[in-house]
Amino acid sequence: MGRAVLRLISGGTVLAVAAAVVLAWGYAQFTGPGPLQVARNVIIPAGTGLDGIASVLRGAGIIRHDYIFAIGARAFEKARSLRAGEYHIPAKASPREVMDILASGKTVVRRLTIPEGLTSAEVVDRLQRAEGLFGDVAVPKEGTLLPETYHFSYGDQRADLLARMQESMRGALSRNWEMRAPDLPFDAPEDALILASIVERETGIARERGLVAGVFVNRLRKGMRLQSDPTVLYGISPEGLDRPLTRGDLKGETPYNTYVIDGLPPTPIANPGIDAIRAVMNPVETDYLYFVADGTGGHAFARTLQEHNRNVRKWRKIRDAN
């Protein structure tokens, strides 16, 4: 009996030692540096279970053993806390560190920049091509999307981001309408938005926006037609033309041809940025009534038609020389 007991004790000791060794090895594997040599992002698809997450991580070269990660997550009671999304994993991150990153829910922040002056169709095209967004969206009304940089996470819906753009535009328009200059020649913020879209398409130079807005406000006050080429272009083809406008175009009967119609066109012709909106709400006080390209990317402004015609002749010489 004594020898049998000793053998049992000896065998139990061996098993206990072996278990301790395995446990120590597993803990070292779970907490030690991982195999990832260079930091990278990893995407955990929605609906992926613990074993699936471990498989994704091993396939991405972030962990060595998927079973070590799964056992460790269960041991630390984090198995149900791991979330889907896109995560940034540092080089040499241990499986435990990776577990904590996935449990934190701090996903990678992606960015989508919408430049000023795009049409709503062009904005939606960028949304559709943005990686990491899901779902389709219809093209909203022209001028209802505020150009700026928007942040999102992998897996977000395009419809949600589009709604944020619309809410940003409503907020910007409302705030600036409350701070508008007195006696503007329009009675509704929607009209200001239309004019802001024209200003946006007329000049890309920040310092000119207020002056261009001042010219258009002066023309509206005097009952003069705006005579804006971008409105003519939009009326012919919102997607743009692969040729210059012709004299025939300027005489064309469309609701957007401000050489033909009085006042503002029926809708915006693009999505104006916040600076163009502010310029229209508080235009530069000026007695200019005309402007034309000056050949340097900016414009030459004039008070009289005679002066304007001289500027036009200068511009045509520059254009023809080029």
For 72-110, how does the pLDDT look when each residue is reduced to its tens digit (9 = 90+)?
999 999 999 999 999 999 999 999 999 999 999 999 999
Output 275 or 315, whichever has higher pLDDT: 275
Report the alpha-carbon distance of residue 132 to residue 154 in Å, rounded: 4
Q: How far is CA 211 from CA 184, 207, 217, in A?
A: 15, 8, 10
Average pLDDT over residues 255-266: 96
Do residues 211 and 284 both lie within one domain? yes
**Range of 290's domain?**
182-321
Q: Which residues contact 124 (CB under 8 A, 6 or more apart)?
A: 137, 138, 139, 140, 162
Residue 322 — pLDDT band, cuts 50, 70, 90?
confident
pTM for the complete prediction? 0.85
| Sign of the torsion angle spanned by Cα atoms 158, 160, 166, 172 | negative
Number of Cβ within a 10 Å radius of residue 19: 10
User: Strand, coil or helix: what is 89?
Assistant: strand
Domain boundary among 138, 167, 196: 167
Do residues 234 and 259 both lie within one domain? yes
Residue 112 — pLDDT band, cuts 50, 70, 90?
very high
Supply the pLDDT for residue 24.
81
Alpha helices in 205-259 (DSSP H): 209-222, 229-236, 247-250
Domain boundary among 104, 119, 134: 104
The answer to the question of residue 76 being in a domain is yes
The answer to the question of residue 25 being in a domain is no
The answer to the question of residue 172 being in a domain is no
The answer to the question of residue 148 being in a domain is yes
Identify whether the C-beta of residue 128 lies closer than 8 Å to the C-beta of residue 158.
Answer: yes
Encoded tokens for 258: 């401000």
Report the alpha-carbon distance of residue 310 to residue 89 in Å, rounded: 63
Do residues 234 and 191 both lie within one domain? yes
Q: What is the pLDDT of residues 150-206, one digit of tens each?
A: 999 999 999 999 999 999 999 999 999 999 999 999 999 999 999 999 999 999 899
Do residues 280 and 315 both lie within one domain? yes
The answer to the question of residue 85 being in a domain is yes
Indicate the average pLDDT of the chain: 93
The gap from C-alpha 107 to its chain's centroid, in whole angstroms, comes to 17
Report the alpha-carbon distance of residue 114 to residue 306 in Å, rounded: 40
Do residues 186 and 263 both lie within one domain? yes
Report the alpha-carbon distance of residue 8 to residue 14 in Å, rounded: 10
Assign residue 44 the CATH number of its domain. 3.30.1490.480
The answer to the question of residue 239 being in a domain is yes
User: Strand, coil or helix: what is 40?
Assistant: strand
Q: Which residues contact 116 (CB under 8 A, 6 or more apart)?
A: 147, 200, 271, 272, 273, 275, 276
Tokens 């328009």 found at: 173
Q: Kindly state the helix (H) or strand (E) to which residue 193 belongs, with its residue range.
A: helix 189-202
Q: How far is CA 255 from CA 228, 231, 237, in A?
A: 13, 9, 12
